[in-house]
Amino acid sequence: MMAVQSGRVSAAASDAASTDSRDGLPGWLVALFAVSTGMTVANLYYAQPLLSTLAHAFKVSTATAGTLVTATQIGYVLGMLFLVPLGDRLEKRRLVACLLAITTVVMAAAGAATSFAVFLVASLLSGTTSVVAQILVPFAAGLAPEHARGRIVGRVMAGLLTGILLSRTVSSLVAGAAGWRVVYLGSAGLTALLALALRLALPRHAPTTDLPYHHVLRSTMKLVRTHPTVIRRGLYQAAVFGSFSAFWTTVSFLLTGPRFHYTASGVGLFALVGAAGVAVAPLAGRFGDRGLARPMTGVALLLGAIAAALTALGAHHIALLALAAILLDVAVQTTLILGQHVIYQLDPAARARLNSIYIATFFAGGALGSHLGTVVYHAEGWNAVAALGAAMPLVALLYWTTERRREKVMSDPRSARGHGSH
């Protein structure tokens, strides 16, 4: 099942394979990081195109089935807050293998579930342990030399974002051919193989702190006060990711409804259009390397609002809906890469903890977007979802205009080296 996606992620990471010695990391290792992040984060999104199928299988309403996406994203937030900070405290290779082993068991339980309650709990837990992706990203950033960090993080994130986008296609096609249970059981098997591969291939990476776990959590909260830029960047991303999540959680209802009459496989094939936006991830990394994080963030937020508004017209024209999906994916990827590039400049010894704050903040926005999108769609229809999706990045854009000069300096790594961190 995941073999199809793995091949796609590998293709998206082909740029990573060309990484040479000037970037400080062998190309195969960058590609492995990209494929691994894509395969693990895909666990969060398998349910999205299958909501109607799962609602029928467990005899619940489609609105109730929609809580699966929200639960998975809430689990991801919990994992970011309580597991990812361990990336600074424990040896990363061992931590990654352990979390993937747990993910294997949870995905197998989801595939064997006979009640909606069991499946919901498994979704929550799979979201929690799938934060491996966000341990691997700062891992790669820590191994990369400073001058190439933006490019390498961009290449790894291209794999992660490809996993997000293609997971919907893979799950719908596999479910259409072999049933939804094969999606989860197949993921369990391939996650086990991934755990073994990473355990053997990743270099040892010593912890960057020896603080006890509860002190690590406390220090994570202290970082929020020390580096307010993390929360600001997280809120930018929460807004655009909330719009993204509202769209992708509800578009399956639109496409399978009376206007388009798509099957689950048709919804999955539609999700392929979003993959066209993956190419922007390495480019966004280069923007960060050149000190353009702040202006390009504003451009991306505006693009996200325009794309979400365009989805209203897409309800009548599938080509416009596809274009809106691509533009929305580009906006999400651009703000994500630029945000990570900025926060990785703040404190190299606390990258995992800073990343946990950042990702937890915007996944909370994603969970809210998924929930509100489902509620709004069933209450008011597709145009209301489009309005909700446009409003979120517009509010973030207004917030973006309030950045102080000091925060602008931190968006430029060349200036940051001369001024230090917050």
In this predicted structure, what is the pLDDT of residue 102?
A: 96
In this predicted structure, what is the pLDDT of residue 5?
A: 47
* pLDDT above 80: residue 352: no
Between 178 and 274, where is the model more confident?
A: 178
Contacts of 364 (CB under 8 A, 6+ apart): 73, 77, 238
Query: What letter does residue 202 receive in the DSSP assignment?
Result: S
In this predicted structure, what is the pLDDT of residue 340?
A: 83
Percent of the chain with pLDDT over 90: 43
Q: Taking a C-beta distance cutoff of 8 angstroms, is the pair 197, 284 a contact?
A: no
No. of H helices and E strands in the chain? 22, 0
In this predicted structure, what is the pLDDT of residue 233?
A: 94
In this predicted structure, what is the pLDDT of residue 290?
A: 83
* pLDDT above 60: residue 20: no
Q: Tell me the pLDDT tens digit for each residue of 238-263.
A: 999 999 999 988 998 899 888 888 88
Q: Taking a C-beta distance cutoff of 8 angstroms, is the pair 254, 381 a contact?
A: no
> Cα dihedral sign for 51, 106, 73, 137?
negative
Range of the domain at 293: 2-419
In this predicted structure, what is the pLDDT of residue 48?
A: 84
Percent of the chain with pLDDT over 70: 88
* pLDDT above 50: residue 329: yes
* CATH number of the domain to which 163 belongs: 1.20.1250.20
* pLDDT above 90: residue 323: yes
Q: Which amino acid is at 163?
A: G
In 3D space, the residue among 89, 53, 32, 66 whose CA is nearest the CA of residue 350 turns out to be 89
> Cα dihedral sign for 158, 100, 112, 44?
negative
Q: Which amino acid is at 43?
A: N
Tally the domains of the chain. Answer: 1
In this predicted structure, what is the pLDDT of residue 9?
A: 42
pTM assigned to the model: 0.74
In 3D space, the residue among 262, 82, 237, 67 whose CA is nearest the CA of residue 161 turns out to be 237
